[in-house]
Amino acid sequence: MDYGILKFDEPDRDTSRKIIHIDMDAFYASVERREDPSLEGKPVVIARHPKDTEGRGVVTTASYEARQFGIHSAMSAAKAYELCPTAVFIPPNFTLYRQISAQIHDIFEQYTDLVQPLSLDEAYLDVTDNKYNLPSATIIARQLQQKIYDQTKLTCSAGVSYNKFIAKIASDYQKPSGLTVVPPELAECFLMKLPIEKFFGVGEKTLEKMHTLDIYTGEDLYQQSLDDLMQVFGKMGYSLYHKVRGIDNSPVVADRTRKSVGKESTYAHMMTHDDEVIQQLRRLSQQTFASLEKHHLHGKTVVLKYRYSNFSTHTKRKTLFNYIHSAQDLFNIASDIWYEEGEAERGIRLLGVTVTNLNKMSYENMALPLHHSKRGDLRNNDDKT
């Protein structure tokens, strides 16, 4: 198609926004390492061991130690084993990853409702108008990194700029645990120096075409005319022409669908008495219910999470027929689960209270009374991770 005859409106370069891109560092592998500290420093591959799958299976992600051997996501597990036979292969635990992702998402929403998840381990945030009225997106990014680490013991990298395209590239610039800020006046200089494969959206096939045109860096791309890029790459050429000039006005689109609401805490001093645990469950229940009210949500399922001194992590849940209507109701259910299942004398490192099976508040579900039968009206399911 001859794109040269088409006319496009030239977009303005909007530099008024404050956008953060957060990308967790080797998320799945880091979660597994958190759950099992003996993995520290070892090459970890999130995939079933090829010996258990007759060579089938694909790598979901790999720790930074494993990446030094050339292992990467989407590689066959058999190839990963060939590259590093001493790697520790762990099947993915997406239930756990989703729980932690929801916890991180809750931290994001402390600052803004404009949060656009790209996957379980990365998201855009528009903090132009944030809930704390902080003038600096850089300060917010630092606070996010610290809060995420404090609450999950996981690290992330952050990119800060005035649009999504640059913020995403920036978050990858100093991994792991990096923070890269690209203000409007430095955007073109930043993009000029980048290898073209660092441009988000440039895959293997596009990269091959770029190289045939002697395009290896952002500066090489900048030298191309709009007509030439569109002749070769079509609409993507139009997008790349403007993005290398620092133009990307696409909005941060919030994901309004919430699967769960919860709070959890880790403790430097292990709790060994029920009284200590119950005190913390009351606090977590109050915080969780406050978050439910804030988002105008009700839920029917309560999930209690706890981790013992030996790092074994347990989740127990109870589902009610009607919705939970108060922090006291939530606390009663969480404490019931604890008394039925928990053993404080084994030492508690972590506690969490989460509500799932959510629905928007309405007159109908607000009017239904919570059934107070302690055993008969509760269905019990449990998981161990």
**Residue numbering of the annotated binding site for Mg(2+):** 23, 121
120 within 8 A of 105, measured Cβ to Cβ: no
β-strands 88-90, 44-46 pairing? parallel
Give catalytic status of residue 122 as yes or no.
yes
Sheet of strand 156-161: strand arrangement: 115-119, 122-126, 19-24, 156-161, 179-181
CB 165 within 8 A of CB 186: no
What tokens does 9 get? 């409106």
Instruction: Evaluate whether 261 touches 358 at the Cβ level (below 8 Å).
Output: yes
Cross-strand bridge partners of residue 297: 360
Q: Structure tokens of 242?
A: 């403007």
Q: How far is CA 219 from the centre of its chain?
A: 32
Q: In the Cβ-directed half-sphere of 369, how many Cα atoms lie within 13 Å?
A: 3
Is residue 87 within 8 A of residue 29, CB to CB? The reply is: no
**CB atoms inside a 10 Å sphere around CB 282:** 17
Tokens of 236: 């993507």
Q: Tell the burial category of 261 from Cβ atoms under 10 Å away from its Cβ (0-12, 13-18, 19+).
A: buried
Give the residue among 123, 128, 149 at the shortest CA–CA distance from 21.
123
**Residue 296 β-bridge partners:** none
Residue 274: what are its φ and ψ, rounded to 5°? -55, -40
Catalytic residue, from 65, 109, 122, 264: name it: 122
Query: Given CA atoms 164, 169, 173, 176 in this order, what sign does their dihedral have?
Result: positive
Annotated binding site: 23, 121
Bridge partners, 312 (sequence order):
none
Q: HSE on the CB side for 130, CA within 13 Å? A: 25
Write out the catalytic residue numbers.
122
